[in-house]
């Protein structure tokens, strides 16, 4: 009877040992699994970081450039009577024609991504028009060429493609601060005597002008970090060249070609 009530010690310890062994094996398996997983991650990290850096390098071109540009443009204007003031007729000014003129820019380009970059600079920008008249009954004639000179800040965003030989299109704005005015006049009287005169004072010009611009072109880069850029652009003025109470509303436009020497740094 006593032997029946006595617990079976040997059976109890064998069950405990089996449970302990199972727990030990389970813990060991978990440790090995975590360790292996961490090693895989640590081995993959360098390649992942390399891939990320490679992608970043591909997606962003860090080469900025300076450039000096000369622009040969044909300038022309829209002209209408200022109906809010005196509504003065255009008269002979309706016969004004286009004027070829040179502009000059010093600027730089800064990449934003592989395909997009910012182009900004400082420009001596000039608009103008000209007029020519000849008498049909005598030797009399009258001609003039008018220039409106500005200090401008052409700002564009451009999309480009290619490597050493690039092509691009762009668009932007051109704030302009008025600098000076010049009108050169030439005439002959009925006897054929020639005269000329230069006007440089015009207090009726607006002190600020604002234009939009679009451009497209190509660029060739050389091994010595220099390059050549050839482009065409169209520019159109948004506000009046003249002051609010002038007889006319004058807005300048230009279309032309640009040649620039570039330097990568």
Percent of the chain with pLDDT over 90: 69
If one looks up domain 60-264 in CATH, what number appears? 2.40.160.20
Between the CA atoms of 80, 86, 89 and 90, what dihedral angle is there, to the nearest 10 degrees?
-40
Q: Tell me: pLDDT of 120 over 60.
A: yes
Q: Structural domain boundaries of the chain?
A: 2-57, 60-264
Indicate the pLDDT class of residue 190, thresholds 50, 70 and 90. confident
**Tens-place pLDDT, residues 151-179:** 999 999 999 999 889 999 999 999 999 99
Mean pLDDT value across residues 215-229: 95
Residue indicated by tokens 């003025």? 237
> What pLDDT does residue 57 have?
46
Burial class (CB in 10 A: 0-12, 13-18, 19+), 235: buried
Q: How far is CA 153 from the centre of its chain?
A: 11
Contact 249, 79 (CB under 8 A): yes
52: enclosing H helix or E strand: helix 9-59
**Tens-place pLDDT, residues 35-90:** 444 444 444 455 545 554 544 444 455 689 999 999 999 999 999 999 988 899 99
Of 257, 251, 263, the closest CA to residue 215 belongs to 257
Instruction: Give the 3-state secondary structure of residue 110.
Output: strand
166: enclosing H helix or E strand: strand 165-188
CA dist 23 to 13, 14, 35, 37, Å?
Answer: 15, 14, 18, 21
């Amino acid at each position: 009877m006593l032997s029946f009530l006595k617990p079976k010690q040997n059976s109890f310890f064998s069950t405990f040992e089996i449970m302990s062994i199972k727990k030990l094996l389970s813990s060991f398996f978990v440790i090995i699994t975590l360790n292996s997983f961490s090693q895989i991650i640590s081995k993959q990290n360098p390649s992942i970081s390399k891939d990320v850096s490679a992608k970043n390098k591909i997606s962003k071109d860090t080469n900025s450039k300076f450039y000096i540009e000369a622009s040969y443009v044909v300038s022309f204007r829209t002209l209408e009577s200022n109906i809010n003031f005196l509504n003065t007729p255009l008269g002979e000014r309706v016969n004004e024609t286009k004027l070829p003129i040179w502009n000059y820019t010093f600027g730089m380009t800064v990449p934003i991504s592989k395909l997009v970059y910012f182009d900004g600079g400082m420009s001596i920008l000039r608009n103008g028009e000209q007029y020519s008249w000849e008498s049909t009954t005598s030797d009399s004639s009258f001609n003039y060429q008018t220039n409106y000179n500005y200090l401008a800040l052409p700002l564009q965003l451009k999309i480009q493609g290619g490597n050493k030989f690039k092509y691009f299109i762009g668009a932007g704005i051109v704030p302009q601060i008025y600098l000076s005015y010049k009108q050169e006049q030439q005439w002959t009287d009925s006897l054929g005597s020639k005269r000329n005169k230069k006007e440089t004072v015009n207090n009726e010009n607006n002190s600020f002008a604002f234009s939009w611009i679009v451009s497209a072109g190509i660029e060739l880069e050389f091994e010595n970090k220099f390059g050549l850029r050839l482009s065409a652009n169209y520019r159109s003025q948004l506000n009046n060249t003249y002051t609010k109470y002038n007889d006319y509303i004058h807005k300048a436009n230009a279309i032309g070609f640009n040649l620039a020497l570039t330097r990568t740094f």
